[in-house]
Structure 1
């Protein structure tokens, strides 16, 4: 073991990082924004690419290389809806679904005009937390309810 440790220390940072990168699984990170307006209503999207029986969900997307998860929330909300948000606290961090981690943040509406990206989104609406639509992803329903009132 000492020999391995000596070799490890000699090869230096960049090569160490490359070896670690090669030896470990790669993860996609799904990032979700629980976006609320000033009245506490939550922004939900009817997603074109999701299952027909569960099309409703929060703004969600994958983090890009070099992007913070908070930046992902801002980007995804803007791309999907045209709205600007201020990202708040981390509300969920989970892993275990294949090679994907899931991150969710609270976010507040900061401006912009609602205009959906028709490629990804069929409809965007604000809902009171007690009046969520049928066909809402259960994991998103629990995120909304756990953070309401």
Structure 2
């Protein structure tokens, strides 16, 4: 009897109200999105991030997805904001969860245009690196992404 009542009530809620109930009842996460940006020579774009730890300041372009934005759109936007470069997103190469309030997605991306101009609020330096000549101070998980040593889905 109770289950029938709950089922009938659920069907009457419809659309936006159902989504609101689901949102309140489940975990809400921020999603960090990383782009493994490569040029035509196979080099990868690495950034010296101003706000990252002093011992691991180098990493790939990364940022948080905005509400209503696909993760591929996040890669394009973040690379543009941080470097003024244009990229075309490729396949998903990593999806991780298990953090308190954060999930992470990483995509391959291909340089498609633009002129390098750094956002000095976030980025101190940038460079194109061959996968076998990565700089010291590169965050370990980004080294794994560059070298293809990470499964697509991981917890």
TM-score (norm 1): 0.96
Displacement of 1:98 in angstroms is 1.0
Per mean C-alpha deviation after superposition, the further-off stretch among 1-10 and 79-88 is 1-10
Partner of 1:30: 32
One of 105, 130, 146 as aligned partner of 2:107: 105
Determine the structure 1 residue equivalent to 2:74.
72
1:137, distance to aligned residue in structure 2 (A) = 0.6
Matches for 1:11-22 after TM superposition, within 5 Å? 11-22=13-24
Secondary structure of the equivalent of 1:72? Answer: helix
Identify the residue that residue 50 of structure 2 maps to in structure 1: 48
- Give the ranges of 4+ consecutive aligned residues of structure 1 lying more than 3 Å apart after TM superposition: none
Q: Secondary structure of the equivalent of 1:88?
A: strand
Q: Using the alignment, how far apart are the partners of 1:146 and 1:127 within structure 2?
A: 15
- Unpaired runs of 5+ residues, structure 1, are none
> Could you tell me how far 1:7 is from its partner in structure 2?
1.3
Q: Give unmatched runs, 5+ long, in structure 2.
A: 150-155
Query: C-alpha displacement at 1:67, in angstroms?
Result: 0.8
**Which deviations, in whole Å up to 9, do the C-alpha atoms of 1:80-123 show, x marking residues without a partner?**
00100111111111111111110010001111111110000000
Separation (CA, whole Å) in 1 of partners of 2:142 and 2:43: 14
Alpha-carbon distance between aligned partners in 2 of 1:22 and 1:99, rounded to the nearest angstrom: 15
1:6 paired residue among 5, 8, 15: 8
- Note if 1:122 corresponds to 2:124: yes
RMSD: 1.0
Aligned length: 147
The alpha carbon displacement at 1:35 in A equals 0.2
